[in-house]
Amino acid sequence: MDSKDHQIRLFAFQCLRKQVDIYGDTLSRSLLEKGFVYNHQQIKFVSPKGIHKPKQLALPITITTAPKGPYADKFSKAGMIQYKYRGSDPQHPDNIGLRQAMQTQTPLIYFFGISPGKYMASFPAYIVGDDPTSLTFTVAVDELNAIQTLPENTGDAWQVAESATEARRAYITATVRKRLHQRTFRERVLAAYRQQCSLCRLRHTELLDAAHIIPDSDPTGEPLVSNGLSLCKLHHAAYDNNLLGISPDYQIKVRRDILEEEDGPMLQHGLKGLHNDKIILPRSQSLQPDRALLDRRFQQFKDVG
């Protein structure tokens, strides 16, 4: 294994870890294109190609699934990521690069497109399978501290803590899948509501949540925009705890005991003042809250109140 590749790759993971600590695991395309600086050289995390190998590295460093890309990347029945070849030629240089990464167990970064311009970062990711018949690589995600640092000038493949590696990767990849669904749901709901709380119009996205009408713990609580509401953290908590409800005709109802309570201006303006107002709706009718789901949830609110 090229020791220069090894050192740059570890440095890239450290830089990306810092970005995730600052911005969360959903990062902008512009940030990824900016990349990082190593020995006075700018190295991008992504390029127009889905399989990205900077000139400074011997093997690819990232694989990317575009939000509306040409390849149908997905999860297998076993829960692993199925990443399509570049094109239909198994001997394309990019496909050969990933095959070599599999043989040496070289860690990569996997970016999954959540929405246009936004990608969820998962790393380290490993190529653990190759199926030329379906033109597909199998990818698993591991924990960063499983990588064991190698001494420089070694010719060995990357070393990984071997204790229950397969089971650990299966578990972590399953959590990636869950986070992916959560992040995708959030981005789509917030986009439908034009990045604002549907009750109070607050526009600071760091204070906004995608709330489920029917919880995702319920078998019918699907991660669809029509089962979601864009709510600020205050109104999300109030909705989840039945301090307020939303009727099937999109009217906000505040629980009677809250209306009768006397407190400071936050209660008055943050909750009581919303009583009988109507929520803000997505412009597209297909993205608006499902009235049947609202009615089902509203019955729960009335039972509590």
Per-residue pLDDT of 275-285, as tens digits, reads 999 999 999 99
Predicted confidence (pLDDT) per residue in 125-177, tens digit: 999 999 999 999 999 999 988 876 544 445 556 666 666 788 899 999 999 99
Q: Does 217 lie in the same domain as 155? A: no
Peptide bond preceding 265 in cis form (omega within 30 of 0): no
Q: Which pLDDT score is estimated for 163? A: 61
Q: Which pLDDT score is estimated for 164? A: 74
Q: Does 115 lie in the same domain as 244? A: no
- What average pLDDT score do residues 92-108 get? 96
Give the pair of three-digit tokens for residue 39: 């020995």
Q: What is the mean pLDDT of the chain?
A: 91
CATH number, residue 30: 2.30.280
Q: Which pLDDT score is estimated for 148? A: 61
Q: Does 163 lie in the same domain as 299? A: no
Cα of 288 vs its chain's centroid, Å: 22
Rounded Cα–Cα distance for residues 45 and 51 (Å): 10
Predicted confidence (pLDDT) per residue in 71-82, tens digit: 677 888 888 999
Q: Which of 218, 288, 278 is nearest to 247 (CA)?
A: 278
- Secondary structure of the chain in HEC code, one letter for each residue: CCHHHHHHHHHHHHHHHHHHHHHCCEEEHHHHHHCEEECCEEECCCCCCCEECCCCCCCCCEEEECCCCCCCCEECCCCCEEEECCCCCCCCHHHHHHHHHHHHCCCEEEEEEEECCEEEEEEEEEEEEEECCCCEEEEEECCHHHEECCCCCCCCCCEECCCCHHHHHHHHHHHHHHHHHHHHHHHHHHHHCCCCCCCCCCCCHHHEEEEECCCCCCCCCCCCHHHEEEEEHHHHHHHHCCCEEECCCCEEEECHHHHHCCCCHHHHHHCHHHCCCECCCCCCHHHCCCHHHHHHHHHHHHHHC
Q: Does 35 lie in the same domain as 165? A: yes
Q: Which of 36, 72, 28 is nearest to 57 (CA)?
A: 36
Q: Does 152 lie in the same domain as 254? A: no
Q: Does 23 lie in the same domain as 141? A: yes
Q: Which of 219, 193, 299, 192 is nearest to 253 (CA)?
A: 299
Q: Which of 289, 265, 278, 274 is nearest to 238 (CA)?
A: 274
Q: Which of 271, 236, 278, 277 is nearest to 256 (CA)?
A: 271
Q: Say what the pTM is.
A: 0.79
Residue 3, phi-psi category: left (phi > 0), alpha (psi -120 to 50), beta (remainder): alpha
Q: Are 202 and 196 in contact (CB under 8 A)?
A: yes
Q: Which of 2, 125, 127, 128 is nearest to 58 (CA)?
A: 2
Final residue in a domain of this structure, among 187, 220, 250:
187
Per the structure, the count of domains in the chain is 2
Rounded Cα–Cα distance for residues 74 and 137 (Å): 11
Q: Which pLDDT score is estimated for 153? A: 47
Q: Does 202 lie in the same domain as 178? A: no
Give the pair of three-digit tokens for residue 88: 């239909």
Angle 125-131-135 from CA coordinates, rounded to 5° = 90
Q: Does 200 lie in the same domain as 180? A: no
Cα of 195 vs its chain's centroid, Å: 17
Final residue in a domain of this structure, among 155, 187, 219:
187
- Percent of the chain predicted with pLDDT > 70: 93
Q: Does 176 lie in the same domain as 209? A: no
Range of the domain at 270: 195-304
Q: Which of 109, 83, 102, 94 is nearest to 51 (CA)?
A: 94
Predicted confidence (pLDDT) per residue in 111-122, tens digit: 999 988 999 999
- What average pLDDT score do residues 3-26 get? 92
